[in-house]
Amino acid sequence: MVRAIVGANWGDEGKGKITDMLGEKSDIIVRFQGGSNAGHTIINDYGKFALHLLPSGVFYQHTTCVIGNGVALNIPYLQREIDDIVSKGVPKPHILVSDRAQILMPYHIDFDAYEEERLGGKAFGSTKSGIAPFYSDKYAKIGFQVSELFDEETLKEKVARVVAQKNILLEHMYHKPLINPDELLETLHSYRDVIEPYACDVSLFLNNAIKEGKTILLEGQLGTLKDPDFGIYPMVTSSSTLAAYGAIGAGIPPYEIKDIITVVKAYSSAVGAGEFVSEIFGDEADELRRRGGDGGEFGATTGRPRRMGWFDCVASRYGVRMQGATEVALTVLDVLGYLDEIPVCVGYEIDGEVTKDFPVTAKLKKAKPVYEKLPGWKEEIRGITEYEKLPENCRKYIEFIEKELGVPITMVSNGPGRHEIINRK
């Protein structure tokens, strides 16, 4: 049985908690795309953690945590994350890394920062984790695959070829220090030593696990609206954030993904630049940000304050559809308990016409939110474990969103802890 957990919106929907919770009943948890540019905040018996590359199943001894071929593999970062969780009392996790995964190089991070600097006011709001240069090189066929670390002659030849190309850009476009090929080769040797114990044919491992009836969880990063094809292009990430890509990024048949849990926030938030129709500002945004999440709405990777907004039915319905959601997990509902009434964006007004369908970016720039206001419930709902015990207006809010999404909300998260969740199945 293969399930995917993915985000419907801009990322930061609370996927980490849902993955951590479902990891209890999973044998294998797979990261299938992205890199260390986004994170999952997880709170459990060991403490509070912000994971970036490691799958959320690392806190369980019974799980195998897999980094698939679709991931941007930052090897020093991976080592640092493993060392960090172990130093905090977590038993060393069982980790496998695809020998077909490509390596995020130190110069990818440099080029990311140089390009943002060059763009100035037109920058993409990158996390400067090297993700766009990494995927550019992967598809330009000048990336380094894990398997290549173990073939010295090929590695030497490729380092010389790639460095020659990069140094032209560094000298003439960015006017920055050049890369030394000998030093880069030494860096790759150190990467080989770190990754060797974990590297294997992950696709073969996963396909054998499927035949054995194991439970596999595919863990996505960011959300639909950051997908390079279907998101708010060009203010998107550089790898597909859709559950469909899970089959490619893990190396399994697409028909094996039976359940797609799409995570939706009870309000909206985003990190980075790009269109955000239901965004709010000023004191209203500050209060929601301060109350949101656990300790406030700040990026798990960058610490940047997240942009805040009300629930967006148009964007969320689209996000759920593009993910192919079979069920929805609604998160951070407890945060909204302070409001007398809660605005919900139910349509976009574009050039004088109201639409309920999510448009392309050029039209999105013109969109104004159309709100419907729902009554608040004005009480604390943390600790409630049965749906019927929620305040009536809280249930009405959930049911309103469910009707708009057109997909059953099977889980409602009402607190940051692993088991602060209401199951509606």
Return the active site residues: 12, 40
Token pair 């419930």 is found at 377
Q: Is 16 annotated in some ligand binding site?
A: yes
Q: Is 13 annotated in some ligand binding site?
A: yes
Q: Is 39 annotated in some ligand binding site?
A: yes
Q: What is the spatial distance between Cα 400 and Cα 273, in angstroms, rounded to a whole number? A: 29
Query: Mind giving me the DSSP string for 265-317?
Result: ESSEEE-SSS--TTEE-HHHHHHHHHHSTTT-SB-TTT-PBPEEE-EEHHHHH
**Which whole-number Å values give the CA distances from 99 to 190, 205, 352, 411, in the listed order?**
16, 12, 53, 36
Q: How many Cβ atoms from other residues are within 10 Å of residue 371's Cβ? A: 14
Q: Is 11 annotated in some ligand binding site?
A: yes
DSSP state of 57: G
Q: Is 282 annotated in some ligand binding site?
A: no
Q: Within a 13 Å sphere around the CA of 275, how many CA atoms are in the beta-carbon half? A: 21
Q: Is 57 annotated in some ligand binding site?
A: no
Closest Cα to residue 322, out of 385, 235, 230? 230
DSSP state of 34: B
Q: Is 68 annotated in some ligand binding site?
A: no
Q: Is 369 annotated in some ligand binding site?
A: no
Q: What is the spatial distance between Cα 125 and Cα 158, in angstroms, rounded to a whole number? A: 31
Q: Is 41 annotated in some ligand binding site?
A: yes
Q: Is 382 annotated in some ligand binding site?
A: no
Q: How many Cβ atoms from other residues are within 10 Å of residue 309's Cβ? A: 25
Host H or E run for residue 318 = helix 313-323
Q: Is 340 annotated in some ligand binding site?
A: no
Q: Is 284 annotated in some ligand binding site?
A: no
Q: Is 240 annotated in some ligand binding site?
A: no
Q: What is the spatial distance between Cα 236 and Cα 197, in angstroms, rounded to a whole number? A: 34
DSSP three-state, residue 59:
helix
Q: Is 274 annotated in some ligand binding site?
A: no
Our measurement of the distance from residue 403's CA atom to the centroid of its chain's CA atoms, rounded to an integer in Å, reads 26
Q: What is the spatial distance between Cα 297 and Cα 37, in angstroms, rounded to a whole number? A: 17
Q: Is 237 annotated in some ligand binding site?
A: yes
Task: Give phi and psi for 40, each to the nearest 5.
Answer: -115, 130
Q: Is 14 annotated in some ligand binding site?
A: yes
Q: What is the spatial distance between Cα 161 and Cα 181, in angstroms, rounded to a whole number? A: 9
Q: What is the spatial distance between Cα 389 and Cα 377, in angstroms, rounded to a whole number? A: 12
DSSP state of 237: -
Q: Is 306 annotated in some ligand binding site?
A: yes
Q: Is 413 annotated in some ligand binding site?
A: yes
Q: What is the spatial distance between Cα 168 and Cα 342, in angstroms, rounded to a whole number? A: 54
Q: Is 17 annotated in some ligand binding site?
A: yes
Closest Cα to residue 66, out of 42, 99, 40, 36? 99
Q: Is 303 annotated in some ligand binding site?
A: yes
Q: Is 8 annotated in some ligand binding site?
A: no
Q: Is 154 annotated in some ligand binding site?
A: no
Q: Is 326 annotated in some ligand binding site?
A: no
DSSP three-state, residue 115:
helix
Q: Quick one: how many helices (H) and strands (E) in the chain?
A: 12, 21
Specify binding-site residues for Mg(2+). Answer: 12, 39
Specify binding-site residues for GTP. Answer: 11-17, 39-41, 306, 332-334, 413-415
Specify binding-site residues. Answer: 11-17, 37-41, 127, 141, 237, 300-306, 332-334, 413-415
Specify binding-site residues for substrate. Answer: 300-306
Specify binding-site residues for IMP. Answer: 12-15, 37-40, 127, 141, 237, 304
